[in-house]
Each structure stands twice: as C-alpha cells, then as structure tokens.
Structure 1
C-alpha cells in the first residue's frame, strides 16, 4: 500500500502525535488514559472501513470493544477527517473521569491530504484512591480468624 492509497497509514509518527494531542486535551486533574493495543486494532479496522466522519453507529464495533476489554462498561468510537491531527477537537468523553482506555488509528483519507483519525475510548471501573488506601491498611485476618474459636 502506498501513501497515496486511501486507507494507507501516514508517515511521520502521526499516531504518536495524535496520542500526545489527546493527552493534552484531557484535564490534568483526571487519571491518565491507558493505551490499549486491542482498541488500536479496532480503531485501525474502522479507519480502513467506509464509515463516514462522526460517531460510529455500528453496534458490532461496540460489542467488539466490550469483548476486547471485558471489564469495560462503556465505549465510544469516533471518526474524524482532518488536514492535521493538531486540529482534533476535544471529545466530551475525555472529560469523563470514568474513561480509562484509549486506542487511536490514523490513515490517509485520500482527499486533499486529509487524515482519517479514529479514536476509540472505553471506561473500566477504577478503584477509588480513598477506598484503595483503606483496603491496604485493613487487617488481613477476619474476625475470629486464627486466634482461636469459641465453642
């Protein structure tokens, strides 16, 4: 596949650049997103498909996201066509604390040097830091454990 071919991956680290853009668009007070190879693979499939710009509405894509990340509770996939990934808008899902995983794919759109960018997000439950701290400090024995039994 050549770079002139629609669906071909662009050169120059465009995917890495897209990850950096999304990282900057996420509020610093929120937990960092985990990069997911499974979501990247799904994003690449969507990027090469005939899906037009906008939110992906194919239920099968969402089912595959939730199957790839079994603990995920929500998923989001969006296609953008942009001349440069620096123009990527801030998806509302980036502002959601529950959003935990991310996968990105970028291919040449074949029209006037546009890039086809697919961003896939998923949410998995995160442990609450306060609860996690309490659990780490709690005794490992249950009441009435090995200290003897009452008869």
Structure 2
C-alpha cells in the first residue's frame, strides 16, 4: 500500500479510506475482518500511550502531597503491594529500528485486548515541527493483529 509519505506490504483485501486532514497524511484501513487500522503521518500523531492516568505508588503519592497538598489526584492509579504498573497496561512495548528510525512497537498481552501498532517520534522536521508517525489498531482480531505486525516490519518512508 502506498500513502505518498510511506508505504508497506499489506494483504490485498485491505481497503484504504483517506481523511480530509490538511496538516497530516491520516486515514483508516479496513481489514477483511472489518477491523480498523489508523495511520497518521504528521506533527500531531498520537504517541500510542495506553493510559492518560498517572500510575503512582502510595509512597510517591505521600511525597507529592507533602510538596503539593492540593494536587488533583482524581485521575491517579495508586499501586499497592499486590499490584504492579504492568498490571494496568494491556500491551507490551518494545523498541526497534524500522527503515532506520527508532520505533515503539505495541502488541497486546492478550489477543483482542489492547493496542497493536507502531509509533515513530521523529521522521524529519517540517514547517510545523517534528513529523511523527503512527499505524495502529485496537482490540484487533487475531488475523488482523498478525497481518498488521507483519506489515509494520515492511514500512518504508519517503526520504
């Protein structure tokens, strides 16, 4: 599949839908299983962080409240001795080079539950700043997940 700024090898039965984004190259790919895969090549690409909540230990919370007693902690996830940060993250994250760029790869710990995809923080610098990239799907069926992970390995960016 060719998207002007990047390309990759994908199954023939994937279909591309483009969006009317004027500051990036963004769109959706529909797999044969009707899963949606999103892509965004531009300055505002989502870094694929799974949770916006702050995960903090009770000890760290006590220290924070000493310094800032009025801190808003409503969005915090507070760990105890029986929980770990990893318990709140659905996807495992690894890093590797893809087409010469450092890429963050996400793969669900459990098939169908979590994010599968890739994020690259800096491909080049454009008029709006750093050009970033993501390609991902959420809660994909097993076949779509496998196909997306294979496609990610073949990514090529226009230099």
Query: Which structure has the larger Rg?
Result: 1
Q: TM-score range by the shorter chain?
A: under 0.3
Question: TM-score if structure 1 supplies the norm length?
Answer: 0.25
Q: Counting strand residues as a fraction of each chain, which structure ranks higher?
A: 2
Question: TM-score if structure 2 supplies the norm length?
Answer: 0.24
Q: Counting helix residues as a fraction of each chain, which structure ranks higher?
A: 1
Q: Kindly indicate whether structure 1 or structure 2 has the higher relative contact order, using CA contacts under 8 Å at least 6 residues apart.
A: 1
